[in-house]
Amino acid sequence: MRLTSIISIFCITVIMSGCSHNINLTPDYGDIEIINHETKEFIQSDEPVAYYLSTEKRETVVTSPAGGGDSVTYSPYKDLNSVIYSALSLHFADVSYIKSLDNDKDLANIRYIFTPTIETTSYSSSALHWPPTKFSITLKMEALNEKKEVVWSKLIKSEGNAEYSDYKSDVDFSAKQASENLYKALTEELSKFPK
């Protein structure tokens, strides 16, 4: 077999196998702070609420497609934790974390318990560069009452897009944009939350 054929086969194998790159979904805190500053008047309730995120979800790691046959790996719940908590804090003056739904002490005096379920997808139109050109997030946010019954549920979808000029300096660009859009959409939905 010729050397050129061997090299070609090796290159094709490498391209086909691809590799996974770590990215972060957390938007720049500066952008979040600006949004917070502009929407502080949204706070509408002094009732204590809780935000529940299980250890299992917090440790969830996801791998999804990227460009050039590669993939991206990230921790959606960990990365979006501050986004969700910040949105809740805009509407409720007293927001606390709870680690369990079974601890009565943690749930004492809590009016609502908010629980997120997150799904993500990514895609790239580039055959040469790995950063995703499109990233989407679907958040199902539920509110439970003191009896742990679902009393409010919203399905929120957001998307981020990146051109080469965007991701050449920030490989997380499309993911961060999707997170920022998720924050804005969640904030809007929470502004309609029944008092």
Read off the tokens for 152.
């409010």
pLDDT score, position 15: 44
pLDDT score, position 186: 95
What's at 8, amino acid-wise? S
Give the full edge-to-edge strand order of the sheet including 45-52.
Answer: 92-98, 45-52, 112-123, 134-144, 150-161
CA–CA gap between residue 159 and residue 174 (Å, rounded): 8
Render each residue's pLDDT in the chain as its tens digit; 195 residues.
Answer: 554 544 443 344 344 457 999 999 999 866 665 565 555 555 668 889 999 999 999 999 999 999 999 999 999 999 999 999 999 998 999 999 998 999 888 888 999 999 999 999 999 999 999 999 999 999 999 999 989 999 999 999 999 999 999 999 999 999 999 999 999 999 999 998 987
pLDDT score, position 179: 97
pTM to 2 decimals?
Answer: 0.85
pLDDT score, position 31: 62
Helix (H) / strand (E) element for 78: namely helix 76-91
- The DSSP 8-state label assigned to residue 150 in this structure reads E
CA–CA gap between residue 68 and residue 126 (Å, rounded): 6
pLDDT score, position 7: 41
pLDDT score, position 24: 97
pLDDT score, position 2: 58
pLDDT score, position 194: 86
pLDDT score, position 46: 85
pLDDT score, position 5: 45
